[in-house]
Amino acid sequence: MSDSLYLHRGQAEVLRDQRRFKVVVAGRRWGKTQTAKTSLLKAASVKNRVVWYVAPTYRMARSIMWRELLRAIPRNWIVAKNETMMTLLLRNNTLLECKGADKPDTLRGVELHHLVIDECQDIRKNTWYEVLRPTLLSTRGTAMFIGTPKGFNWFYDLFQLGQRGEIYRDKDGKRRRNSWKSWQFTTEMSPFIPPDEIASAREDLDARTFRQEFQASFETMSGRVYHTFDRRKHVKECPFNPKLPIWVGQDFNIDPMSSVIMQPQPDGTVWIIDEAVIPASNTQETAEELQRRYFRHQKQMTLYPDPAGSSRSHGRGESDLDILREAGFTRIKFRRKHPRVADRVNAVNRMFESAEGTIRLYIDPKCRKIIESLEQTVYKEGSSEVDKSLSTEHAADALGYCIEFEFPLRKIQVGGRSL
């Protein structure tokens, strides 16, 4: 069984590569579906395998790949077919299935030999890290990730893994052979797309959308709340200085609990040096984590919590702030009432870059959660309301409680302070 129909040079290069994990970032109509299909068929030609194709939804899996597979595989190769479940049992005893990532719990508990995840930019990253990645462990299975950029999300992170070269140094400085390889293909690289179609798209789209959709460029998302943040300007090494004060912005959302750790610098800038974003956690665990990291410097630490933390909501009648105080955090600054969301957002945006072009806020590259939060928190379409559907806003909220307090856009009377 084979499917070598009209593979162009870029597709052939990807499919020939022997790396375990392949990441293909491509513009629209470059040929992502053909690449994914050929990868699936190649893996399914080996007997006794389990091979999956995963799209963002069940409906997308059916419309993008299921019918393509049925057309490509000879009927005498199919022993059993389930249209509803989109499964094919082949005569070599290999099972080939199409799945949707919209119900990730249904993807657990299997052992896969090969996996293609399509339109990765529209799939939640935990679907890969928590659900699908474990399915490849016992088989040492392979995976291909395909998509078009959509901001600097987890798909971008995977792309970066494949750009480290064949040999790279890990966090401990040890040389490692890279099992990842990534490619970036523009639509123009496909010989099957007429140039006049690309020229037409260039005329119809704004520059940013054209770069993202046709040139496979990772672009800052439109409608971003923290629009002045640019990782190329604001991400740099920000080492901890034990002689400087420590500020901690704190958001009390349970999943995740988010702490953003900062230090004001002598030159008037603020450096984000660390973060503690803990899923399914609580205030006590957060306090313990901060103590573990900074126990020698707790006296120079000031916490800037969500004002909602002053309400008594725990089992013994204590508030989140009571728990922090009991843990020895005596320097706590907060407002009696929540500042307006717009004031918080504008204060953070101004610190990243004022109207005069002044930059006063920087982030260490290890603080990936706050970087993701700043890049991926967007407004609901057509409104000034933050879209909370993806739960990306919590780390940025934590940052905002501190920045708005110390660098307010206008004078606001302090409602709560304990020193």
- Is 220 part of a structural domain of the chain? no
The CATH number of residue 377's host domain is 3.30.420.280
The answer to whether residues 39 and 160 belong to one domain is yes
The answer to whether residues 161 and 64 belong to one domain is yes
Tokens of 122: 């529209």
The answer to whether residues 372 and 266 belong to one domain is yes
- Is 201 part of a structural domain of the chain? yes
The answer to whether residues 115 and 261 belong to one domain is no
Tokens of 355: 């109207």
The answer to whether residues 67 and 27 belong to one domain is yes
The DSSP-derived string for 145-205 is: EEE---SSSHHHHHHHHTTS-SEEE-TTS-EEE--EEEEEE-GGG-TTS-HHHHHHHHHHS
Contact 196, 188 (CB under 8 A): no
The answer to whether residues 283 and 337 belong to one domain is yes
> Tens digits of per-residue pLDDT, 150-179?
878 899 999 999 999 999 988 888 999 999
- Is 302 part of a structural domain of the chain? yes
DSSP state of 378: B
The answer to whether residues 289 and 356 belong to one domain is yes
Q: How far is CA 401 from CA 123, 162, 233, 307, 337, in A?
A: 30, 37, 23, 9, 11
Kindly report the pTM of this predicted structure: 0.63
Per-residue confidence (pLDDT) for residue 2, from 0 to 100: 45
The answer to whether residues 167 and 242 belong to one domain is no
DSSP state of 75: G
Per-residue confidence (pLDDT) for residue 1, from 0 to 100: 52
The CATH number of residue 120's host domain is 3.40.50.300
The answer to whether residues 202 and 235 belong to one domain is no
DSSP state of 338: P
- Is 41 part of a structural domain of the chain? yes
The answer to whether residues 246 and 148 belong to one domain is no
- Is 3 part of a structural domain of the chain? no
- Is 390 part of a structural domain of the chain? yes
How many domains is the chain partitioned into structurally? 2
Q: How far apart are CA 88 and CA 95, in angstroms?
A: 6
The answer to whether residues 241 and 193 belong to one domain is no
CA angle 341, 237, 225 (to 5 degrees): 20
The DSSP-derived string for 194-237 is: -HHHHHHHHHHS-HHHHHHHHS----PPTTBSSTT--HHHHB--
Contacts 24+ apart (CB under 8 A), 237-245: 237/364, 237/365, 238/263, 238/271, 238/272, 238/273, 238/362, 238/363, 238/364, 239/273, 239/364, 240/273, 240/274, 242/296, 242/297, 244/300, 245/300, 245/301, 245/302
- Is 299 part of a structural domain of the chain? yes
- Is 277 part of a structural domain of the chain? yes
Contact 194, 34 (CB under 8 A): no
Write out the residue range of the structural domain in which residue 261 sits.
231-418
Among 172, 207, 242, give the residue marking a domain's end.
207
Per-residue confidence (pLDDT) for residue 411, from 0 to 100: 41
The answer to whether residues 236 and 110 belong to one domain is no
DSSP state of 113: S
- What are the residue ranges in the chain where pLDDT is below 50? 2-4, 312, 411-419
Q: How far apart are CA 258 and CA 225, in angstroms?
A: 18
Per-residue confidence (pLDDT) for residue 311, from 0 to 100: 58
